[in-house]
Amino acid sequence: MAPNLFISESAENWDERLLRGGTIRQRFALIGSYNPSIDHPAKSPQPNFSLIGVDLGVDDPAKLLHIFKDEMNPNFPFISIPNSVTVDTMRKDQPSLLTAVMAVTSRDSTQQLLLGQRLMRQIADRMVVNGERNLDLLLAILTYAGWCYHHFFNIPQLTSLISFAATLVGDLRFMKPLAKDSRGFFDAAIRESAKAREQCVDTLKPVTASVRLMEERRAALGYWFLTSVVGSFFQRVDTAKWTPYLDECCTLLYESGHHRDDRFAVALIRMQLVSEKIFQNPWHGSSEGRPHTAPPVLYLKALQNEVNHLRADLSVEMESNPFLLLDYHNLEISLYKIGLARSESLSAFTNRDFNQLEYLLACTEAVRAFSDRLLRIPANKYHCMSVKLNMDMTWNMGVLQMLSTFDHPDWDLTWLRETISFPELLGKLSSTFFEVKAALNLDPNTTERLDMFSQSARKLGWIKMFVEKAISGVPAQSGESRASETSFTAGEMYDLNGGDFMGYMDDAWMKDILGPWEY
């Protein structure tokens, strides 16, 4: 009996082919035996790349791997390395991820920069020259972009990393579920083709995965998270599209308990989703001349409810990982800072059913809560602050500067400065940053302060001196808060005495707080 050439096909598969097409096999509803004429191998041949025998220039790579897995990972929990994985196995199987881990954990500042340069060359050679597409490269990029402070404010390099990550998640199809087989009338012809069967080579037959690996799901969420935080901070890249598949990834990670830090990953994602809603609301568009119709209170109250629900829903995670509270308070600041609006278009938006003083007070409380939590972090934990947390710290200080200088008849600047002192905060942060070198034993072979934490301490002290000079009514600080201040060059003193303070305090300059003095 002749085979039935008409095999049922679901409406979903039919419409998927109709609207999206796909591979040759998907477009023509072909299933059955592997055929090298139409099928790609599951793993395309890739150059063998490893670090076996390569000196990475670090004293104890196993110790650095432990620091990354057990101390840093909870605050950027999208790259989870199992305890069974060692440096030796990573040299062979995950060479670029190992390079990235060493680059962001090295205690030698000069070596850290060299490792970063080596990683960037690896990425370029493997992706551009060799055309590689694999999870090792994606995890390496996410690690370096999520943690490397030395290159964070080199915007072209950061956006290049995001672009490379976009290429990888696109080519590897990590942002969508695995494609389902489509059945159609061509299947019988393929199955009955003796020639096709003879062409099948066992070593080339693809192995089709039935489910996504958890590390692939984490990587997809990590990529979305990075595009969101970098896009909202620098306005240089667009946030990746949020899809039902990413919702599924969050649910599986939260419920599976596969890794101890997976719930922290979901908590960060949930807060960032609300942050995206805040960033996309009308008061951002108002300054660009886009029209708005609904009263602001409708947007603000709805978002305020979401923020409050997050605090209740994520209470367990926040108690387990205090760094998550910094993310939460920054979310509050993002919502309430609309009270500081001064431009005509934004003022017109906020004047309708809007209690500005209420939002100014709420913003002040959020800034104070963020600052108090930040000051509780000891110096020996500062290496656990991801790039996202450094962004949040910059936003917090920028908003506090605006609260300290906001000229409005209903706003009491004296009360604000007594409630939370901007120069005092800068002084305390500068002192803590100054202590990090000794606390983490950075650059132990030199007394020079080459590390980025010491450079940040100097910059914060410099900003503090500007604040004390430029903002009337702000007294100069003394004692402990001046502990980390260093001498300034003649050029710096000229800027301090005659420069335009507000020109230095704009967002573009504030971005450089945590970057090196020179590139």
Domain boundaries along the sequence of the chain: 33-176+190-204, 421-519
Look at residues 365, 375, 396 and name the one whose alpha carbon lies nearest to residue 480: 375
Of 43, 21, 30, 93, the closest CA to residue 208 belongs to: 43
pLDDT at 31: 64
Q: Which two tokens stand for residue 246?
A: 């990413």
pLDDT, position 293? 57
Q: Give tens-digit pLDDT for 463-484.
A: 999 888 877 655 555 544 444 4
Q: Is the pLDDT of residue 506 over 50?
A: no
Q: Token pair for residue 53?
A: 């025998």
Across the range 396-412, mean pLDDT stands at 92
What is the CA angle 433-438-439, rounded to 5? Answer: 75
Q: Where are the alpha helices (DSSP H) in 11-108?
A: 11-20, 24-27, 61-66, 87-93, 95-105
Q: Taking a C-beta distance cutoff of 8 angstroms, is the pair 327, 264 a contact? A: no
Per residue in 58-96, pLDDT (tens digit) is 779 999 999 999 999 999 999 999 999 999 999 999 999
If one compares 45 and 468, the residue with the highest pLDDT of the two is 468
CA–CA separation, 366 vs 38, rounded Å? Answer: 58
pLDDT at 247 over 80: yes
- Packing angle, helices 214-234 and 135-147, rounded to 10: 40
What the block records as the tokens of 472 is: 């009337």
The percentage of residues in the chain with a pLDDT greater than 70, rounded to a whole number, is: 71
Query: Residue range 314-341: average pLDDT?
Result: 93
Higher pLDDT: 458 or 47? It is 458
Q: Does residue 4 register a pLDDT over 70? A: no
- CB burial string 12-23: b at 16+ within 10 A, e below: ebeebbeeeeee
For residue 66, what pLDDT is reported? Answer: 96
Among 116-125, 176-185, 260-269, 378-387, the minimum mean pLDDT is found in: 176-185
What is the structure's pLDDT at 330?
96
Q: What is the pLDDT of residue 38?
A: 60
Taking 80 as the threshold, does the pLDDT of residue 501 lie above it? no
Of 370, 452, 480, 460, whose CA–CA distance to 113 is shortest? Answer: 452
Give the confidence band of 352 by pLDDT, cuts at 50, 70, 90: low
Q: Do the beta carbons of residue 127 and residue 137 sit within 8 Å?
A: yes
394/429 Cα distance (integer angstroms): 12
Least trusted range by pLDDT, from 230-244, 369-383, 410-424, 470-484: 470-484
pLDDT at residue 354, rounded to an integer: 67
Spatial separation of the C-alpha atoms in residues 164 and 466, rounded to whole Å: 39
Mean pLDDT for the chain overall:
80
Task: Output the CA–CA distances (angstroms, integers) from residue 89 to 50, 121, 185, 314, in the order listed.
Answer: 10, 22, 47, 36
Would you state the pLDDT for residue 232?
87
pLDDT for the residue 486? 45
